[in-house]
Amino acid sequence: MNIILAQQNYHIGNFEKNIAKIIDGINAAKAQGADLVVFPELCVCGYPPRDFLEFEDFIAQCYHAIDAIKTHTKDIAVLVGGPARNPQREGKDLFNAAWFLYEGEVKQVVHKTLLPTYDVFDEYRYFEPSYEWNIIPFKGKKLAVTICEDIWNLGDNPLYRICPMDQLIAQEPDVMINLSASPFDYDHDEDRKEIILANVLKYKIPMYYCNAVGSQTEIVFDGGSLIYDAQGNIAKELPYFEEAMDGMELEKLVGSHLPPVKPADFTPLTELVFDHNIDRIYDALVLGIRDYFGKMGFTKAILGSSGGIDSAVTLAIACDALGKENVRAILMPSPYSTSHSVDDAVALSKNLDNPYDIIRINDIYETFLTTLEPYFKGLPFNVAEENTQSRIRGNLLMGLSNKFGYILLNTSNKSELSTGYGTLYGDMAGGLSVLGDVYKMQVYSLARYINREKEIIPANIIDKAPSAELRPDQKDSDSLPDYAILDRILYQYIERRQGPREIVAQGFDAALVSRALKMVNTNEYKRNQFCPIIRVSSKAFGVGRRVPIVGKYLS
């Protein structure tokens, strides 16, 4: 039995395009002599569809997609993901399902059992968990089909009270097949391999694991679909961050003469490693930008180029994602901008060969100050005057965006967003945040990765002390702790959910920890108004992190 995995990139709610892509995959699998082709979770509608699932018309179009796809299954079996209606009055109206199509018919429908409700997932909001488990008989073999989370309950601290494969293994299946939409984060690919291996070693049969690829607003799916033999060896690994198809005959996975693999010795990150999987982070950000623009119908981006590290890295990644000619950089020096910052920003755009303009804001800034002078009443210079510069820049960028159809890329990093080191309606403006899930020290690692073959980002941008340049001789260190220390504290609190006592016990200064955590919690109101952030960590700001704006905890 030849089983092919179709790792594809879908567009949520774009049924016509998704159907055509799936049918193309079926035809390609036929050409490769496949008996069965497997597609990812909820592929007919795209994942995650969220509240679209509450519209009956949306569900009807999902069913129409299944009807269209099944007409192409006369001589090949197909497993596709899509919602299925719940015939019982009790419970939720839908199941998250895998549809087994063959000979032009729906032969069987498998329902997902384990419905994640953590981080970016909210599946129990829409779906009913499965209450029955049956293998799929096909060409003399028994297929144990599961959906994404269904295989993730084998750890020392199970999240769910049931494990679907424990039910299915009693029916003596020959192979496990998992339809998945597993998001990327920079520590997840090895975690994923560990859990698949754990399933193979426990149930002693091969596994075909088909993951989605592509970005859906803030969530990036990295592909990397896998085929494991019965001994736990990786027989096939599909590429990351791109569409691909590949497969293998089931018999070759069962009759392997390789020795059994020992259980994986995977240890999740317990502290922030600044350059960990930096190449994967880069690829995820490129895909995140490219798909956001492509699926929204946008073609051109604009951003403020300051001569600083964050805007430099954002510009370089955007040029890779969209093409250098489609990314416009605007340099907006103020009275406090240093000449070398302007020179650095110009050198960067010349290296990248992208269009750029210089718009000095000195006169606009003076007009604002003159207008506000009667109301400021001679009070000392402070953040009000600083933020006015940032908001002028935001207005200029949005004016150009509106006039020429650009999408403004935000350049703030995760360290700044964590601590509130940004100006609402100024440098926090944007349609998409590129670095909002990347800590400052990781931004430097990205810059070095971008320069791995030749200097694209000028060395002075990387070497100089970071500064917002909103007052004379300003440095980030005037207001923030050293990033190398701050980022490690933030990682413990945000990604690892460690409290102040646990963080201090790791050797960090108690006063610094208290200050950092207070900055995080008191600035939730800013982040709540922020644009979508491309997710690359296990805990990004946005849909996957829900904390009260007015909470007192640690503030």
| Rounded CA separation 39/43 (Å) | 7
Q: Which amino acid is at 124?
A: Y
> What token pair was written down for 222?
């990295």
Q: Let me know: does 165 contact 195? Beta carbons within 8 Å.
A: no
Block residue for tokens 């199509």: 101
Q: How far apart are the first and last CA of the chain?
A: 60
CA distances from 231 to 256, 259, 267, 540 (A): 7, 7, 22, 36
| Rounded CA separation 515/418 (Å) | 12
Which residue numbers are catalytic?
41, 112, 148
Q: Which H/E stretch holds residue 123? A: none
| Rounded CA separation 501/370 (Å) | 49
Neighbours of 25 (CB within 10 A): 26
| Rounded CA separation 388/402 (Å) | 21
Handedness of CA 47, 53, 55, 60 (dihedral sign): positive
> How would you classify residue 304: left for phi > 0, otherwise alpha for psi between -120 and 50, otherwise beta?
beta
| Rounded CA separation 493/36 (Å) | 45
| Rounded CA separation 299/297 (Å) | 7
